[in-house]
């Protein structure tokens, strides 16, 4: 069962939580925010006529969206629950309510109710999967060569060095292990709660309305 939670503040991570985030998204978010602030404030200071107002409306709209899709997403793996913070909502699932974790073209958690929640902070990289698969194949070939007394090329050059699982797949494996370990615990039971990120949604909507009005009256 999913319980919407619209008013309670978002829980803060504890020292015991394992936090998963996308480093590339964080870097991209910082660069986009820097660029938006540079261009926006330049238009505010030097612009004429409606330009400062258009720049202000664009900033009010763009900044929350950039934060939502780059800096905000995170997955918090705690002792008793999994918290998924996506661009526009946060979902808290006690481990006992997690039915499965799926990894395909996207990573998602499935609750016992059948509801699915995408893990935005753990994006799937098909390229990383292919690299990991090649490493695994070379490692297997080197192991077979060693058992047969041969000296394979992979063993000579060390081509199989490195992780044989893509990082996002390894994170899903870790979360699955936590579900198996903590799922039956009494303290890991409860209801799934969903909290909408109005602190992101409200300013973005306000910026979109202001921009639409300015464009309409222009």
pLDDT digits (tens, 9 = 90+) for 138-162: 766 766 766 555 444 444 444 445 5
Selection from 15-24, 133-142, 200-209 with the highest mean pLDDT: 200-209
In this model, does residue 52 exceed pLDDT 50?
yes
Alpha helices per DSSP H over the chain: 23-46, 51-66, 126-147, 153-157, 167-182, 198-217
pLDDT class for 173, splitting at 50, 70, 90?
A: very high
Strand order, beta sheet including 89-94? 2-4, 192-196, 89-94, 81-85, 74-77, 18-20
- pTM of full prediction above 0.85: no
Q: pLDDT value at position 30?
A: 97
183 strand-pairing partners: none
In this model, does residue 43 exceed pLDDT 50?
yes
Q: pLDDT value at position 8?
A: 59
Distance CA 187, CA 155 (A): 48
pLDDT class for 109, splitting at 50, 70, 90?
A: very high
Distance CA 30, CA 12 (A): 22
In this model, does residue 131 exceed pLDDT 80?
no
Q: pLDDT value at position 147?
A: 58
116 strand-pairing partners: 110
CB-based contact 118:107 (threshold 8 Å)? yes
Residue whose entry in the numeric block shows the structure tokens 């929640």: 117
On average, the pLDDT of the chain sits at 85
């Amino acid at each position: 069962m999913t319980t919407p939670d619209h008013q309670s503040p978002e829980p803060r991570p504890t020292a015991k939580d394992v936090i998963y985030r996308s480093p590339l998204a964080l870097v991209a978010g910082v660069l986009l925010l820097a660029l938006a602030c540079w261009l926006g404030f330049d238009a505010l200071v030097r612009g004429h006529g409606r330009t400062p107002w258009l720049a202000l409306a664009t900033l009010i709209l763009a900044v929350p969206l950039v934060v939502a899709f780059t800096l905000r997403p995170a997955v918090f793996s705690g002792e008793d629950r999994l918290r998924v913070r996506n661009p526009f909502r946060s979902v808290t699932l006690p481990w006992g309510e997690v039915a499965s974790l799926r990894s395909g073209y996207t990573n998602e958690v499935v609750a016992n109710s059948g509801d699915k929640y995408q893990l935005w902070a753990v994006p799937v990289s098909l390229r990383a999967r292919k690299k990991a698969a090649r490493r695994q194949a070379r490692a297997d070939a080197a192991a077979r060569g060693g058992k047969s007394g041969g000296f394979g090329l992979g063993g000579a050059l060390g081509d199989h060095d490195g992780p044989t699982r893509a990082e996002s797949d390894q994170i899903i494996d870790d979360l699955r292990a936590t579900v198996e370990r903590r799922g039956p615990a009494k303290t890991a039971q409860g209801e799934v709660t969903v909290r909408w990120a109005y602190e992101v949604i409200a300013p973005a909507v306000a910026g979109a309305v202001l921009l639409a009005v300015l464009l309409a009256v222009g």
